[in-house]
């Protein structure tokens, strides 16, 4: 019997291949559809997250199931603007709950939710964007014995290195240097003329209190002037590495914690 160490299975594999190579880990990538100023497409997050998730799944070193990227997030702060197609928080919660629970029922007991890309503004304790996923994962762990679910935002996992690459990484929330550079690397033909930099003067939690266009009237929260395709290529590598490391380390630590208990 062939020993399988690192096998990535996706939506292109058959059920019988899944049976022959049962995944130990599943990766559920979440993105969002929302306006991204003048220069980036509404599917920017889907492009970025899809690529990060695929590379992470390939590198993880355990048999892994890569799920398709779920495109609809909780972008209600962009409500009413063209291209903002979003879910209420309860709905995204239910999506995560249902998918992860069905994975568990099919014998996959370690699930990593890549919860959009987040921001180098924060660490790995509080997500920025799709905030309900933190609660969804918590409840899954409480309510589903035998399951270990985690969440990670790649920009937050790689925040120290991103801050070295881009002076503005720690003040970027939307359509700034990091997102723009990644799109320049991944989909150059979709990046338009760069708008002026703009970093609003308030904390990001103001987006809980008022629409994005009131808090950041230019539709941007960052400095796209710092972006380049080369920077995007470097950023992609460090982001994938940091995200892979976070996932593997966290699952390992949790295994030890749960064995002790």
Partner 1 sequence: MLDDRSTSAAIASAKPTIAVLGIGAIEQHSHHLPIGTDWIAVSEVSQRVAAELNALWIPAIPFSMSECHGPMAGTVWLKPATLAAVLRDVAQSLREQDIRKLLVLNGHGGNFVIEPTIQAINQEFPDFRIVMPSEVWATIVGEPPIFETAGTEVHAGESETSTELYLNPDNVKSERVDYVPPVGREFLDYAFMDQVSPDGMWGTSSKGSAAKGERAIAAQVHAIVAFAKQAFEVLR
**Residues at the contact surface with partner 1, assessed by CB under 8 A:** 9-19, 22, 33, 35-36, 38-43, 46, 67-72, 79-88, 90-91, 94-95, 97-99, 102-103, 105-106, 187, 190, 192, 219
Least separation in angstroms between CB 123 and partner 1 = 29
Which of 98, 143 has the CB closer to partner 1? 98
Which of 68, 167 has the CB closer to partner 1? 68
Which of 87, 247 has the CB closer to partner 1? 87
Q: Please report, in angstroms and rounded to a whole number, the separation of the first and last CA atoms in the chain.
A: 34
Least separation in angstroms between CB 67 and partner 1 = 7
Least separation in angstroms between CB 238 and partner 1 = 26
* Residue 52: strand, helix, or coil: helix
Which of 26, 156 has the CB closer to partner 1? 26
Least separation in angstroms between CB 93 and partner 1 = 9
């Amino acid at each position: 019997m062939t020993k399988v160490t690192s096998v990535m299975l996706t939506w292109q594999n058959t059920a019988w291949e899944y049976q022959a190579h049962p995944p130990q880990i599943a990766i559920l990538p979440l993105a969002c559809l929302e306006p991204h100023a003048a220069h980036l497409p509404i599917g920017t997050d889907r492009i970025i997250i899809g690529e990060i998730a695929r590379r992470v799944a390939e590198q993880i070193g355990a048999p892994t199931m890569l799920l398709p990227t779920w495109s609809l997030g909780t972008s209600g702060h962009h409500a009413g603007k063209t291209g903002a197609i979003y879910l209420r928080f309860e709905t995204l919660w239910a999506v995560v709950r249902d998918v992860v629970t069905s994975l568990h029922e099919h014998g996959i007991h370690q699930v990593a939710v890549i919860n959009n890309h987040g921001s180098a503004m924060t660490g790995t304790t509080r997500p920025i964007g799709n905030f309900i996923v933190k609660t969804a994962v918590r409840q899954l762990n409480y309510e589903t014995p035998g399951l270990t679910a985690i969440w990670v935002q790649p920009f937050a996992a790689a925040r120290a290195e991103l801050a070295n690459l881009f002076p503005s990484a720690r003040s970027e929330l939307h359509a700034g240097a990091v997102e723009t550079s990644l799109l320049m690397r991944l989909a150059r033909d979709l990046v338009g003329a760069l708008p002026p930099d703009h970093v609003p003067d308030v904390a990001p939690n103001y987006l809980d209190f008022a629409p994005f266009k009131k808090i950041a009237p230019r539709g941007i929260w960052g400095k796209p002037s710092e972006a380049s395709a080369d920077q995007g290529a470097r950023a992609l590598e460090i982001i994938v590495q940091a995200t892979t490391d976070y996932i593997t380390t966290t699952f390992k630590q949790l295994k030890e914690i749960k064995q002790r208990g």
